[in-house]
Chain A
Amino acid sequence: MGETILELKNISKSFDGKKILDDLCLNIEKNEFVTLLGPSGCGKSTLLRIIGGFVKPDHGQVFFEGSDITSMPPEKRQVHTVFQKYSLFPHMNVADNVAFGLKLKKKNRDYISEKVRYAMRLVNMEGYEERMTTSLSGGQQQRIAIARAIVNEPKMLLLDEPLGALDLKLRHEMQKELMRIKHEVGITFVYVTHDQEEALTMSDRIVVMNQGIIQQMGTSKSIYDEPQNAFVADFIGDSNIINGIMIKDRLVLIHGVEVECVDEGFDPNEPVDVVIRPEDLVIVGKDNGFTNGIVTNLIYKGAYYDISVAAGDYEWSVQSNVPAAVNSEVGLFIEPENIQIMKKPKSSDEEVIDKLG
């Protein structure tokens, strides 16, 4: 465990009587790349704005390097933000945008031009200094926005869905760029996104949020492989989430079929959520799996086939390297260790899943 740079203590915030953040606690470590991940309205952007100083929490405190900054205005915080809409100053050229913070600090001219040159090189935008920001593409504008924040050497950089407005290819490119920049400047990144793939790619640690509370925290791998509840499982990657009954340790009832699994510690006959990743399901011959079904849909996705298999009133989502003929009857097989069993979440979460589904 590293040194804590930011500590959020029991943060609550409501807007117009609607609770956005509910008694939330979070510690962020120095040099960490933390991603706040969740659907829109989960409170992740509000949390970022509280860290940036633009929103004051109703309850709770924010500590930065040990001192309480809850009431400190944004201009005094050693934290800078990269906004989704870039928010460059339209009346200034690129260099003046990047130099804005340093000029306010009344640094001398040589220092400023040296720093600006470094920042422009860092984001691969050398030669654009004299351009007006409005003549740049979205990706270029976002690079300038990053340079404009980083040039001030903040201890922490907040990024509010910075790649949300870019197209897919550019987004992938910028993800790599961001990781390189993060590596080079060695400061803490707090990144907000609703894109789970982006979160999995870049983060040291992912904080999955929903309805103003943290659903799960952990590395990309632990979040993906071991989701703690059905919300996380559904939100991170595609999942088959089925109602099941835990008959006893290592045996779960799915759609009337007893299936072997590796989970223990549930009450006998406890209703549970069963989570199965589409890539873990294997299509086998009829009667060779735990259930049979009819192939209803086949989509070629490049790296794999996306196959829908209807069994009873449930439609399984399967990812497979080999195609299966539509309308054919097949069996579905699963290795016991690829079955995730979860306790039924609180009722409010179930509502959310229904909405998402």
Chain B
Amino acid sequence: MDKILGKRSALAGPYVIWAVGFTVIPLLVIIKYALFDRSGAFTLSNILAIFDPVHLRALVFSLEIALGCTAICIILAYPLVLAISRLRFARSGFMLVILILPMWMNFILKLLAWQMILSSNGVLNMIISALGITGFDISNTPLSIMIGVIYEYFPYMVLPVFDAVVAIDADVIEAARDLGAKKSTVFWKIIFPLSLPGLMSGITMVFVPSMTSFVTADILGGGKLQLVGNIIEQEFIQSMNWNLGSGLSVALMIFILISMTFTVNRNEREEEEAW
């Protein structure tokens, strides 16, 4: 038995090499940069720099964008999932392909397309001014960043939630209705609680990237609105201050780890209760 297990774990070898080379070592390098200043002396100031008002504002702004996007993704995902999970397999497969289709296109290209649509003299404003409405311009606003982020990450919310909802036995839903539950009650008492594991993975996959998607903020925010990712990027690329950049990255990572520990713990508890 041990022998077989030993052989099996050897199969993970290639990935372990990959993970060590491209995740663990770079992470250690970043932590090393974060903990020392340019002269090589140990310091916590790079990490604590997250509390600098400019950085803090970017962090809060990122948080707002990420929470907003995650919430909107959840609100959009459930009706869609409920609709397509009832379709016959072939048709629900078709709907999922349409949903996934944008993921096969280049990220930057999609953002440039959104820029064309949302900019001051873009398609959206042309249509709106043709309707005689003036003074409406969402280019370079948090809203346009959110549109870009949601467009990019929405499938990552839908897919795990869809998986969780499809896995619910149709008999369980019928049993609830049989016992007197209206359709809305079935959703809140049965479908939603049983989909929580999927929802939690959806949140993890949408929330974290939304906080740090600096390219989206660059292209759709006109360079004026800064996510914490933009600040980090600037420290590395423009200021060439790798120590501060790494420090802010580590601070962000700690922040994300804390918030994810909360969700994952909750997730595990739900799963324990569910199974």
A91 and B193 form a contact (CB under 8 A)? yes
Q: Does A71 contact B (CB under 8 A)?
A: no
Are A104 and B185 in touch, CB under 8 angstroms?
A: yes
| A-B contact list, 10 entries, CB within 8 Å | A75-B177, A75-B178, A84-B171, A90-B274, A91-B270, A101-B180, A104-B185, A148-B175, A148-B179, A152-B179
Cβ B179 vs Cβ A90 within 8 A: no
* CA distance in complex: A76, B182 (Å): 9
Instruction: For the complex, give the distance between the alpha carbons of A81 and B175 in Å.
Output: 7
B275 contacts chain A at the CB level, 8 A cutoff: yes
Residues on A with beta carbons closer than 8 Å to the beta carbon of B185: 104
Contacts A74-B174, A89-B172, A90-B194 known; A105 to B275 CB distance under 8 Å?
Answer: no
Question: Is A87 within 8 A of B175, CB to CB?
Answer: yes
Chain B: CB-nearest residue to A85: B171
B2 CB-CB contact with A under 8 Å = no
Q: Which residue of B lies closest to A105 (CB)?
A: B180
A143 lies within 8 A of chain B by Cβ: no
Query: A87-B169, A104-B185 given as contacts; is B273 within 8 A of A132 (CB)?
Result: yes
**Which residue in chain B gives the minimum CB-CB distance to A145?**
B175
In angstroms, Cα B275 to Cα A90, docked, is: 6
A230, CB-defined interface residue at 8 Å: no
**Nearest A-chain residue to B270, judged by Cβ:** A91
Whether A89 contacts B275 by the Cβ 8 Å rule is: no
Contact at B275–A134, with CB atoms within 8 Å?
Answer: yes
Closest residue of chain B to A83 (Cβ to Cβ) is B171
Question: In this complex, which of B176, B182, B194 has the most chain A Cβ atoms within 10 angstroms of its Cβ?
Answer: B176
A87-B171, A89-B172, A91-B273 as given contacts; A80 in contact with B194, CB under 8 Å: no
Tell me if A73 is interfacial: C-beta within 8 Å of chain B: yes
Shortest CB-to-CB span from A98 to chain B, Å, is 10
Which residues of chain B are near A145, meaning CB under 8 Å? 175
**Is A152's CB under 8 angstroms from B273's CB?**
no
- Measured CA separation A148–B270 after assembly (Å): 23
* A115 CA / B122 CA spacing, docked (Å): 65
CB distance from B89 to the nearest CB of A (A): 15
Binding site for B on A (CB under 8 A): 52, 54, 73-76, 80-81, 83-85, 87-91, 100-101, 104-105, 132, 134, 145, 148-149, 152
Contact A74 B274 (CB under 8 A): no
A105 to B194, CA, bound (A): 22
Query: In chain B, residues 174-196, which have Cβ atoms closer than 8 Å to a Cβ of chain A?
Result: 174-182, 185, 189-190, 193-194
Complex Cα spacing A54 to B174, Å: 8
The winner among B179, B180, B190, B194 for most chain A CB atoms within 10 A is B179
Of the listed residues B180, B181, B189, B194, the one surrounded by the most CB atoms of chain A closer than 10 A to its CB is: B180
Interface size on B, residues (CB 8 A): 21
Least Cβ distance of B85 to chain A in Å?
17
- Encode contact with A along B77-88: 1 for CB under 8 Å, 0 otherwise: 000000000000
Residue of A nearest to B182 (CB): A75
Across-interface contacts of A100 in B (CB, < 8 A):
176, 179, 181, 189
Whole-angstrom distance between the alpha carbons of A278 and B189 in the complex? 54
For A104, give its contact among B169, B172, B181, B273 (CB under 8 Å).
B181
B269 to chain A, nearest CB (A): 11
B275 to chain A, nearest CB (A): 6
Given the complex of chains A and B, what is the CA–CA distance between A145 and B270 in angstroms? 22
Given known A83-B171, A87-B169, A87-B171, contact A52–B273 (CB-CB < 8 A): no
CA distance A84 to B270 in the complex (A): 26
> Which one of B171, B172, B175 has the greatest number of beta carbons of chain A within 10 Å?
B175
Q: Which residues of B contact A101 (CB under 8 A)?
A: 179-180
Q: Name the distance in Å between B183's Cβ and chain A's nearest Cβ.
A: 8
Residue with the greatest number of chain B CB neighbours at <10 A, chosen from A81, A148, A152: A81
**Binary contact readout B185-222 vs A (1 if CB under 8 angstroms, 0 otherwise):** 10001100110000000000000000000000000000
Q: Which B107-121 residues have C-beta < 8 A from chain A?
A: none
Does A75 lie within 8 Å of B275, measured CB to CB?
A: no
Q: Is A91 a contact of B180 with CB atoms below 8 Å?
A: no
Q: In the complex, which residues of chain A have a beta carbon less than 8 angstroms from the beta carbon of B174?
A: 54, 74, 81, 83, 87
Q: State whether A91 touches B194 (Cβ < 8 A).
A: yes
User: In angstroms, how far is the closest chain B Cβ from the Cβ of A77?
Assistant: 8
Q: Which of A73, A91, A104 contacts B179 (CB 8 A)?
A: A104
Nearest A residue to B168, CB-CB: A90
Partner pick for B176 among A84, A89, A152, CB 8 A cutoff: A89
Q: Convert B111-148 into 0s and 1s, putting 1 for each residue whose CB lies closer than 8 angstroms to a CB of A.
A: 00000000000000000000000000000000000000
Note all chain A residues with C-beta closer than 8 A to B275: 90, 132, 134
- Known contacts: A83-B171, A104-B185, A134-B275. The answer to whether A89 contacts B190 by CB under 8 A is yes
Interface string of B249-275 (1 = CB under 8 A from A): 000000000000000000000100111
Known A-B contacts A83-B171, A89-B172, A90-B274; A74 and B177 likewise in contact (beta carbons under 8 Å): yes
Q: How far is the CA of A83 from the CA of B172 in the complex (A)?
A: 9
The chain B residue sitting closest to A49, CB to CB, is B174
Complex CA–CA separation, A83 to B273 (angstroms) = 22
B residues near A80, Cβ cutoff 8 Å: 178-179
Measured CA separation A105–B176 after assembly (Å):
13
Smallest Cβ-Cβ distance to B194: which chain A residue: A91
